Structure 1
């Protein structure tokens, strides 16, 4: 692994080349994003319809027991995969740019168009259903506006969330705003300074908020402030950002062996977390540091898979690439679908068979909605923006 030295803004376009060089389409990254979306979907399914997971958690095997849905209970880490991938892809998109005000404004406009149209379309469709099924007893225009603008509690004046997955979207938007300044900071100081500074910000924020409520981490507003504001997850984005700095000078065989090692550490850390499961909210280190360690391992695996690697071709398969294309819609739609099913069809979901049926129905509804959102809302809006006058061509990073 070689490192490039920091350079000035003036020499940056010629001197810095991200690992993804021209940011050509990489189907493996799309596949990873599709898997991340499915991990979050399965995590929420397990929490909403737990009967099947409970029935399978102690299946006998070779004189012991095992849980075939072990990783599903850690599906929340799919959010960190999204954050690390965003850190890498979006930093690569601006890596060699001069970052004049016009370019930065163009970047902000494109990123806003990546999130808001799909969000607004969902709100228009979703609100009547949540009202008719009783999930929301009354509409308050302040709450509608807060959801439309992604301004949520615990921010000052923030509103309650209609869709539980919305909490990550303000973090993405905050990262978009910060990214050009992170690149400028990197160009003047280097990657290690950026990583250490982002880690310091994240730790000071997390332990500072935790210290305000040291008697009990079960105090929910404390948990919200720890991870629902950019300083609390800045290091997670920075790990993806830093991938652009490093160029791996390894043979395919060496990359395969290293990927297996990092993947084993990643899986092993899940078992460490499993052992902490009942005390996580009382264990400062588990609560405040676990996702940071996992994000480092995620960044390592992504870096090792940026170039074609034998054994990883399945990640570039057409179904997974398609799933990556519609992953934003999958992320937006799966949770309200899961919440609405018991309201629309009560009494069907309490058995293992009902739990499996809920997953099937969720997929049958969510995937077409996600595909429709991508085809008729998200992609047309971005394509029209790219064709608008005075737009300079740029790599498409969704």
Structure 2
């Protein structure tokens, strides 16, 4: 049974240099037709899986940029969501947003349509860095948009920050953190830059033209991040996420707890009925499929028991709380030690994992090399 719903809006007015998600320039795209196609896909999916949508806890509008849509398009999208997705158990409804696109009309359309959480892509408070990464907003946009969001009624507001950016200094990073804390928000996400294939940054990197900070400096930035978040009363509940009590993202926890969710839209991924699937990315292929009365799935994979165990480990260890022995045993009818005893013991000796009667979790040292720890739980067989 799905706990969450992800809906992909693949349109952007500006493409960021680091983004590898499925996206298209907004201009001259069939945006209205795409929104109607989303409604058709939701209708098809809820008909095919009638019992999978009875206890949806969260809905997440991602992209691309959902706020690239007009107020009228947002209203239509939200009406379609309410038509096909049972809302009685939804407690968190998030929309991603760009600070320079979230007008009052769009904000009110989102709020009226049931959205109660905003996740804003701020990334940096340094204007030169913003230009380098392809962002178009200014700090004034951030301040004005957040003030307006609070006035409209949004209390659950999160911003994304990035470190390890090309040419970024520690002074720029600490200045961004200081300005972020001054906003008095209940949630922050902070990610190190990953240079992904098929991005502008990847092309620059391949040509030796991307001036990235050293690994040591990036680690220092992460260390400062954890210290400052704690000093400002924000609890680290996942490697890259920090929140005041009661404001941790429920939707992201679904991924980290390896539970099922539906993914709708071009290029979206989902996990339903033990099957991980991905949709057609090209708009025409996606829309042609749903117009023909078919789910737009291009790839489907039945997750094996071994893969479920692996995913439970490397996803669950992203959480600061780690993995509970009781939950693992309830899911798999066996202990973690049956498959991972020697691995856990070695990582504990290396001071990368903590292990007690409750479960296992990364140590502070382990958070710096999380990906290396996670790889230890990939079984050869």
Give the structure-1-normalised TM-score. Answer: 0.28
Q: Which has the higher helix share?
A: 1
If asked which structure has higher relative contact order (CA below 8 Å, sep 6+), I would say 1
